[in-house]
Amino acid sequence: MLDEAVGVLIDKDFEHRCDLLLLRAREHGYRGGELLMVWDGSEAGDRQVQWLVQDHLGSTRIVVDRSGSLGGVRRHDFAPFGEELSAGVGIRSASLGYGDDFVRQKFTSKERDSETGLDFFGARYFASIQGRFTSPDPLLSSGTIYDPQSWNRYTYTLNNPLKYTDPFGLYVFANGTDEEKKKFIQGLKDLQRARDSFKKGSDEYNRLDRALKAYAPGKDMKDGINNGVTVKFGTTASRAPAYTEVGINADTNTGAKVTTADNPTGQNTVVTFDPAKNRTADDYVSSVGHEGSHVADGADLVGALPTDLTLTAAQAILGGPLNLTKYVTETRAYEVTSFISQGRGAGSLTIGAGKYEIWNSGWSQADRAAKRAAGIDKVLAEPKSKGGLYEVTPANQGRRLIE
């Protein structure tokens, strides 16, 4: 439902609770994906509508009722890990607006249970008083040797709550600022739009769809599942704008591949995006799609492996065609990059130090595949001494996904 007066999207999914036989209905209004207002049918008069003002972390700091008067203002302050600082703490007092209201969206806009004081983060609950989640991170791949803060499975945002937020209660993002995460999510949305520009069932549509779904994005691209793919931000060892490292989620004691309902392949894949080399929307959608192709290639390989990785069958798969060479997996990924530019209506796209063209809207339908392939081969063969990233050819195809 759209409130025409303010242009706010009202969620039709009502939240109903029965309290002493009183049926209470609430509606939540959003703008730009952020919670903006709450309507409560159990309240009366100006108190029925509450407008929320949030800080840089998304925490509700000021609540204003429909009257807009100072008397209708409620204020909330939080300690670094989300413990609420109420009236009586420091200079805070009821006369300054510190007091109770019916808004339950508190720290980083997560819903706080009034009985337990725990915040619901989707995958698990968070205790703000302790500064810890009440259960361990179910995403095994979130622990990384490169960041000791990730070794504690109960910590919140790598113990840096003033800089980071945890939208899902998971380390789907291993690190990154809110701005970096938003750019990645926008990249997923732009990839979806590029996919939808093609006829459903076409090769271009299917290839972009495969790259998109490799990340297992949820509704609005924000609430992905723990499918064994971790996104992080930082420089890449390959000097590329982004890099994918395909791995296996193996038990540390037995060495067996570990699968779950959300991660049926048993993959443990990390995708790194370099913010310095992904500045524009075009940069991000190209990198997201390109790496999504690599993630999908890795998922196909890891998913085919048996649970017992010591079996002869496992070695046969690792030595077979699913374990793609650098030349083959990069060729596929650059084809996806070319399709993205085509779907976004770009006139042309050049890649590499030599500015090799892998898409041009002026190419005839009959010549597109051949010219795209020729351009990609030049990108991949470019010597590293001249700025190339790969230096692979059909005759020298490089290392495989897993060796």
pLDDT in tens, 363-381: 999 999 999 999 999 999 9
Cα separation, 129 vs 68, whole angstroms? 32
Residue 346 has pLDDT above 80, yes or no: yes
- State whether 113 and 218 are in the same domain: no
Contacts of residue 152, defined as CB under 8 A and 6 or more positions apart, other chains included, come to: none
Cα separation, 54 vs 49, whole angstroms? 16
Contact 338, 358 (CB under 8 A): yes
- State whether 46 and 189 are in the same domain: no
Report pLDDT for 147: 64
Q: What is the DSSP letter of 98?
A: B
Please choose, from the candidates 234, 212, 375, the residue with its C-alpha nearest in 3D space to the C-alpha of residue 296: 212
Q: Which residue has the higher pLDDT, 164 or 116?
A: 116
How many domains is the chain built from?
2
Report pLDDT for 208: 97
In a domain, residue 137? The reply is no
Average pLDDT over residues 326-346: 97
For 19, the enclosing helix (H) or strand (E) is strand 15-19
Report pLDDT for 325: 97
Contact 244, 294 (CB under 8 A): yes
Residue 118 confidence class, pLDDT cut points 50, 70, 90: very high
- State whether 111 and 220 are in the same domain: no
- State whether 359 and 231 are in the same domain: yes
Contacts of residue 208, defined as CB under 8 A and 6 or more positions apart, other chains included, come to: 191, 194, 195, 198, 289, 336, 339, 340, 343
Mean pLDDT, the chain, integer: 85
Contact 276, 190 (CB under 8 A): no
Q: Which residue has the higher pLDDT, 101 or 393?
A: 393
- State whether 182 and 84 are in the same domain: no
The string of DSSP letters for 146-211 reads: T-GGGSSTTBSGGG-TTT---SSSS-SBSS--HHHHHHHHHHHHHHHHHHHTSPTTSHHHHHHHHH
CA 393 to chain centre: 33
301 φ, ψ (degrees, to nearest 5): -70, -55
In a domain, residue 148? The reply is no
Strand partners, 120: 111, 125
In a domain, residue 367? The reply is yes
In a domain, residue 127? The reply is no
Of the candidate ranges 60-64, 76-80, 122-126, 338-342, the one whose mean pLDDT is the lowest:
122-126
Residue 35 has pLDDT above 90, yes or no: no
- State whether 84 and 199 are in the same domain: no
Q: Which residue has the higher pLDDT, 166 or 229?
A: 229
Residue 173 confidence class, pLDDT cut points 50, 70, 90: low
CA atoms within 13 A on the CB side of 191: 32
Average pLDDT over residues 286-298: 97
Q: Classify residue 170 as left (phi > 0), alpha (psi -120 to 50) or beta.
A: beta
Residue 193 has pLDDT above 90, yes or no: yes
- State whether 249 and 112 are in the same domain: no
Residue 142 amino acid letter? S
Of the candidate ranges 14-23, 25-34, 241-250, the one whose mean pLDDT is the lowest:
14-23
Report pLDDT for 8: 41
Q: Classify residue 203 as left (phi > 0), alpha (psi -120 to 50) or beta.
A: alpha
Average pLDDT over residues 282-297: 96
- State whether 115 and 189 are in the same domain: no
Neighbours of 342 (CB within 10 A): 21
Q: Which residue has the higher pLDDT, 400 or 27?
A: 400
Q: Tell me what percent of the residues of the chain surpass a pLDDT of 70.
A: 87
Average pLDDT over residues 124-144: 80
Report pLDDT for 27: 81
In a domain, residue 382? The reply is yes
Q: Which residue has the higher pLDDT, 133 or 58?
A: 133
- State whether 87 and 225 are in the same domain: no
Using one digit for the tens of pLDDT, what is the confidence trace for 89-114?
999 999 898 988 878 889 988 989 98
- State whether 76 and 206 are in the same domain: no
Distances from the Cα of 40 to the Cα of 97, 104, 117, angstroms: 20, 12, 21
Cα separation, 390 vs 377, whole angstroms? 11
- State whether 113 and 211 are in the same domain: no
Using one digit for the tens of pLDDT, what is the confidence trace for 260-286?
888 889 999 999 999 999 999 999 999
Q: Which residue has the higher pLDDT, 120 or 5?
A: 120
Q: Where are the beta strands (DSSP E) in 259-373?
A: 269-273, 348-351, 356-360
- State whether 366 and 218 are in the same domain: yes
Question: What is the span of the domain harbouring residue 21?
Answer: 2-92+102-119
In a domain, residue 61? The reply is yes
In a domain, residue 142? The reply is no
Contact 212, 292 (CB under 8 A): yes
Residue 9 has pLDDT above 70, yes or no: no
Residue 43 amino acid letter? E
In a domain, residue 392? The reply is no
Contact 96, 74 (CB under 8 A): no
